[in-house]
Structure 1
Amino acid sequence: MIADDVAAEDVLQVAERFLGQLSRRRLMLDSTARKLVTEFSEVPPIPHVLTRLAHFLAEPASELSIPKLTSEIQKDPRLTSELIKVANSAQVASTSRQNDLKSVITLLGPRQAILMCLSIGMRTVRSQLMKPWADDFRDWYLKRSAMVAATAEAVAKHLEDVPSETAFLLGVLSDIGILVLAEHHGQKYFDRVIQRFRSIPTLQLVKSERIVTNTDHSMVTAAVLESWKFPFSIVQPIYAQHLDIDDSLPKMGAGLVRCLRLGEAFAEMCDQPAAQRVNAFNSLLSRYYDVSRQESRHVFLEAIEKANQTAEILRTPPLEMSELQQIVNQEGEPLAASAVDQEA
């Protein structure tokens, strides 16, 4: 029996977690990705506390207590210090400064606090793998990562019925495989994959990766997250992002995959607003036929604003706000007309 006062969202999350446990088998990662992560010594380990926090994020909100979360985070003094610093930054802070961990978690809320901790942890992983990168590639990756995460969150909040914090985290995590592939394949990956993808809008990043490396960054990311023992409910959407297996996914997992795909398509359109990228983005957006063009614009303008707001948390370079807003609002109509618009 389910008590009358239990929220429907919590029931759904428990069901999703149970189904995930039933299907907790090793994902069918391609052998190249699995071997790369298994044998590649440069993939940095992460503190155990981050793995624990990732599992907390996969739990129903009603099971997250502030004392329990405070106890877990304070095991890592450096993470505690960074979280308090970020919570008091201009992008996040309330009118009063918070100086202790429990107050910060209370202010942010447990799920948002977990999200910030994991984002802070990923900064360290990213900085280790990006040390030899040229500035232009580094800026491209950081802006892309921020935009994918912010857009996935906005889509989850306004267009899908899935947790927005989880969607944001998936966006932050989804491109870790790019870092690993670049570190392993070196200049060949930059020249034959990233540089060509950025200069030729008809190319698709994943297809180029598969030709050059025999795998792709989503597969590698999923392999990395498995090695870190992240929960299946977080690994699976990233694994499925570039596969045609939506029908086999649980409802929440499929929704998160759609958030990731739109986040990536929007980031790629903003990087290169060519017709091919615009069409790819609109193709994904057309699923939401009952959303007007004006509502769609609001979602993606919010994503741009959020990506810029999180620059301090993710340590990403500032975005060209006016240029990105122009892409969303331009007369060329990059956002597809929905059925609502067509009926007007």
Structure 2
Amino acid sequence: MKVSVVIPTYNNEGTIAATVESALAQRFDDAFEVIVVNDGSTNGTRGILASFGDRIRVIDQKNSGVSAARNAGIRAASGEYIALLDGDDTWSEDKLQKTAEVLDKNPACVAVFSDMIQVDGAGEEYGNWVSPEFQHSPTLDEMLARPWPNLPSATVIRRETILAIGGFSEEFGRRGYGGEDTFASLLLRERGEIHFVPDKLVRYRLSDFNENLAKRIRTRDNIQSGIDEFEEPERLFGELLIFARLVREHFGARGRKIAEWAIDKLANELVAVGMVAMHEGDRTLARRCYRASLRYRPLTLKTYFRLGWAMLPAKVAQRLSPMLSPRLRRSLSGPPFHGLPQRPQ
């Protein structure tokens, strides 16, 4: 078997059929298999997978997170190469052919990734994912300076190498929004080269994180998380702290830049959640978020202004608001400025 396609899925009822179909539709010269790991889905995802019959292999497990799901698929795989595909993304028909042949021709290469097209929930395209400065095969020092855009759905890896690094760290847990793939990429790059294919071989689905978060703030829907994230908002982005710690432990001073990037991102994301909370009228949550952000980046003056605004009684803020410029009012009262819907990385 040349390639094993590994698809982790959790409650992807609306997208998983298209994802699996895009994997099965590959025009590939060698044999490949499709393994889908159902990570404890609670909706109709499992029934959709059953409709594919023996065209795919399904592994069911309790909800353990994307790292554990990918690792289960990798352990069960028989392919020489592992092609990762998330349960809400799709491939072009030549994805495997154009990436696997790079590994075939380059023994020093342990992984290969391609460019992607970003699409929103309605299928509208937002352009390429990999910007020009990333369109080459990176050195380890480059990847330790800032996160590289080699997302899982665009990546094919030698199975022996991903097993050698221990797979994806399961310290990131069930509800991490990212970081496990970035850390695994760094460990892979230690083992060999990571090559880039400029073709756009993936349709990468963006989700509106702010909209989804606003719904959860309104409903306080924390049933799936098992923790009260809104009492300790750092937990919403705890994977960034895990990532920073793992990088420091493994790479020492060499990993300082990317560890600092993770802490900056944590602080910025907490501010963004605070602004969403303000927009939804939850000033208590906003104050928690701003204070949490300041614990990590205490010299960010804008956050102090936002905290002060959130501490004002709502009626006082309402009276003062018309005196502010529209931009300043939005900066204080949210929602955050985001040009595109984003899936946090």
TM-score range, shorter chain: under 0.3
Structure ranking higher on relative contact order (CA contacts 8 Å, 6+ apart) = 1
- Give the number of the structure whose residues are more often strand, by fraction: 2
TM-score (norm 2): 0.27
- Give the number of the structure whose residues are more often helix, by fraction: 1
- The structure having more radius of gyration, on CA atoms, is 2
